[in-house]
Structure 1
């Protein structure tokens, strides 16, 4: 059984899927598509991913797109360890935290939006970066409150879907020099997650070195 992941080392959505695959212990082949070089917009990638995005996961004869949908598939395909709890309240909290990152913070800060701000709207580098930090900060203020009392991870004693989403967003926050001092719980949880091999091996630094 061959699993192929079409991704870009610094793509947050791809980063999530790499973490998920590692947590499930699934071996996979990684194919890098440079977003900076426009490889994701070429015909072969559009054929597998009509949005022209990464990641796409080829698995079980399927071409799976959208990181949270891919993670949901992996969770059904490999039940252990689970990404979400079967308890309805716990499941709802996990999804709320994950979606806060994946739906409220990330989409308005991804590369195509930043390019549009700078290219089409003429925003300066400083204005673009301020935009980025503003939306991450706003989301993290809420997430910090939601994370209080979580335990070692957002998922408690074991990482869950929210943790999978958190680590790539923390990586991006640091890339854009966001002051993380107001978010001690998120910083603590991120540090604990980075100690896990599944998260560390998925990091952009490790992936770029192995490409």
Structure 2
């Protein structure tokens, strides 16, 4: 039986906030390519498990959502805001309410602005909030770290990309998603993904038989 403290595919909703080009170009807390890969992995996880997810942007006419994320949800038009705090846009809050979920998972650029403010606001409104640190990033390492510390002090729960993916999969006997999650690790899992490919090579397994 799953613990109430653990995330499951049906007990939370996801918000990806402002994964856009200007924010990415000024990212200094993380390697930009890794943040892109992690955000893409989270997006694909939501699709695999049918987790409610919404994408948001700010001033999209100047800079669109990163293609790597938009391509996962080509049918979705991100909520385009003027507010720095996405929780102050009624469309975002209304979408969250419509999901019926009390647990929220968020990631965004930058950590110290567009992620921190909605996390604090959602906590104040009674939601249980998780945030994915390595699919987010700040304009400096200090800015990212101080925002993470402030969110934790306020009661938000930090996690990382592969911890999140593993938590929602939980059991490799769940065959309806296990194959797709394994492929996700292969594509975005860095050294572990390369290890999987090597193991399959040693075992003589071909694409489509894993």
Give the TM-score range, shorter chain: 0.3 to 0.5
Between Structure 1 and Structure 2, which shows a larger proportion of strand residues? 2
Q: What TM-score do the two structures reach when normalised by structure 1? A: 0.32
